[in-house]
């Protein structure tokens, strides 16, 4: 009988320990160790092969000797990319799928991960040999989805239900596949690892093996990954370090729309975002996201501000709403949807300390319409003015946009790409803008610009231009 032993593996870096410890010696993280059962009865030859492979690194090779950086400069080959047939996906990937790259796509259940990749591989199959390996669904289920999506190159896409990465590589090599999809990494296992599929060590090893195969054979690998209940990628953090690109597919407050955003991209811009609409025939790229998220009521209400939000190289207009109500001074509510709650608390402290606008005895609710999560500080001034508008019960005119970062001293700091943001606003019939005074240098626009240097000055402007 094979003997098993218990080890504890860090979910962050993969470091293993014979007993549980509070802090990982490998990465220094706390409370990241999980118990795992490992069998001792592993073929020695397979074990040695796996160990030797790991020493080759993720690229699957070690360079001979050392060379100076200047010798390599100018010799690098231009990146060769495949067109996925989906404009929004191409944009997030940096211009298309790079040959020999590994892309990790995560998302909540039902977001449409399998759908968008099936659409992509249908188009890719017209260019190169492609294969789809599924460990979650049966081939009949994939076939049914392909019928619904009206797949055109179904005869060119090879499909197999498989969970062993070694056999996946064997099958992909047999047809000389240049693009493969692995659905999903949490259902895969390696023959060199006796842990259960989905365990920290299995996910780490499977990711390592697939990456080495991609790099040494110039094969593009698209891997689907699960997420935890709090929206983070399930499994060890080392998986995200292994792959070339990590993108996340998310739902919005409307069941019809999806956003896809890159968190890491070695071959393009990180934090690039695209918006899709889910239809009966699959994902469709939304060319003008601002028109979707900026559906304003006929009668304007207090506490509503529009901002030009920049994500990657794209700009979209979003609406921030604030609602302020009388609360219990001993226990006030601070609710933020789509905004950083810690930063909002800081902004309210600035209002109280620098502008004498008290919120300590009020319940404050902030929301980004459409379910988009804002991750930049250019929305600070809009949040501040939305709160003031709600407190004073005054309406910000619908042709006004606001942008600016707020410092702890109450000063308004500049935002990047100010001219590009205003250009997008002008396309949607916005005529006035409250912006940082430091963004005025070299600015060319036909909009009426109202520069401000402090939060107090911005509040004065708000009261002057407000609609009663």
26 is in an annotated binding site: no
Distance from C-alpha of 263 to C-alpha of 232, rounded to nearest angstrom: 12
Whether 459 and 388 have beta carbons less than 8 Å apart is answered as yes
Distance from C-alpha of 84 to C-alpha of 95, rounded to nearest angstrom: 9
111 is in an annotated binding site: yes
113 is in an annotated binding site: yes
Angle at 243 between CA 239 and CA 249, to 5 degrees: 85
Least Cα distance to 54 among 219, 207, 182, 191 occurs for 207
Other Cβ atoms less than 10 A from the Cβ of 40: the count is 9
268 is in an annotated binding site: no
75 is in an annotated binding site: no
Distance from C-alpha of 323 to C-alpha of 366, rounded to nearest angstrom: 7
Whether 86 and 93 have beta carbons less than 8 Å apart is answered as no
110 is in an annotated binding site: yes
Q: What are phi and psi of 412, to 5 degrees?
A: -100, 120
407 is in an annotated binding site: no
Distance from C-alpha of 120 to C-alpha of 84, rounded to nearest angstrom: 5
107 is in an annotated binding site: yes
**Radius of gyration, alpha carbons of the chain:** 26
Distance from C-alpha of 95 to C-alpha of 81, rounded to nearest angstrom: 7
Dihedral angle computed from the Cα positions of residues 4, 184, 225 and 292, in that order, rounded to the nearest 10 degrees: -160
Q: Which residues are annotated as a binding site for ATP?
A: 107-114
Q: Which residues are annotated as a binding site?
A: 107-114
């Amino acid at each position: 009988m094979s003997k098993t032993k218990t080890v504890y593996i860090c979910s962050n870096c993969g470091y293993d320990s014979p007993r549980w410890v509070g802090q990982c010696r490998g990465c220094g993280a706390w409370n990241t160790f999980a118990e795992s059962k490992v069998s001792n009865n592993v073929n020695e030859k397979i074990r040695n092969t796996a160990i030797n492979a790991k020493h080759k690194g993720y690229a699957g090779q070690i360079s001979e000797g050392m060379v100076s950086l200047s010798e390599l400069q100018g010799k690098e080959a231009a990146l060769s990319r495949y067109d996925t047939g989906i404009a929004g996906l191409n944009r997030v990937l940096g211009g298309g799928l790079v040959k020999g790259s590994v892309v990790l796509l995560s998302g909540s259940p039902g977001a449409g991960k399998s759908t968008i990749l099936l659409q992509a591989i249908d188009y890719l199959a017209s260019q190169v040999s492609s294969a789809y390996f599924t460990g979650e669904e049966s081939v009949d289920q994939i076939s049914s989805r392909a019928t619904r999506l009206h797949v055109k190159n179904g005869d060119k896409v090879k499909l197999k239900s498989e969970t062993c990465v070694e056999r996946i590589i064997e099958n992909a090599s047999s047809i000389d596949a240049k693009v493969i999809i692995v659905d999903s990494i949490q259902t895969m296992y390696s023959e060199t690892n006796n842990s259960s599929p989905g365990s920290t060590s299995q996910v780490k090893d499977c990711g390592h093996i697939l990456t080495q195969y991609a790099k040494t054979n110039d094969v593009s690998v698209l891997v689907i990954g699960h997420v935890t209940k709090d929206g983070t990628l399930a499994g060890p953090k080392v998986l995200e370090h292994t792959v070339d690109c990590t993108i996340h597919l998310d739902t919005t407050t409307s069941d019809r729309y999806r956003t896809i955003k890159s968190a890491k991209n070695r071959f393009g811009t990180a934090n690039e975002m695209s918006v899709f609409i889910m239809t009966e025939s699959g994902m469709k790229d939304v060319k003008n996201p601002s028109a979707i998220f900026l559906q304003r009521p006929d009668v304007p209400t207090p506490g509503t501000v529009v901002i030009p939000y920049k994500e990657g190289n794209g700009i979209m207009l979003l609406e921030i709403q604030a609602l302020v109500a009388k609360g219990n001074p001993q226990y006030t509510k601070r609710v933020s949807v789509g905004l950083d709650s810690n930063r909002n608390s800081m902004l309210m402290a600035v209002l109280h300390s620098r502008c004498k606008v008290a919120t300590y005895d009020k319940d404050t609710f902030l929301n980004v319409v459409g379910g988009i999560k804002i991750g930049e500080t250019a929305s600070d001034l809009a949040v501040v003015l939305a709160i003031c508008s709600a407190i004073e019960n005054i309406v910000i005119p619908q042709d006004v946009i606001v942008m600016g970062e707020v410092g702890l001293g109450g000063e308004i700091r500049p935002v990047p790409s100010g001219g590009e943001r205003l250009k997008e606003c002008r396309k949607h019939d916005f005529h006035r803008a409250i912006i940082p005074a430091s963004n005025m240098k070299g600015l060319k626009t036909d909009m009426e610009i109202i520069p401000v240097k402090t939060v107090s000055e911005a509040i004065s402007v708000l009261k002057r231009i407000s609609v009663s």
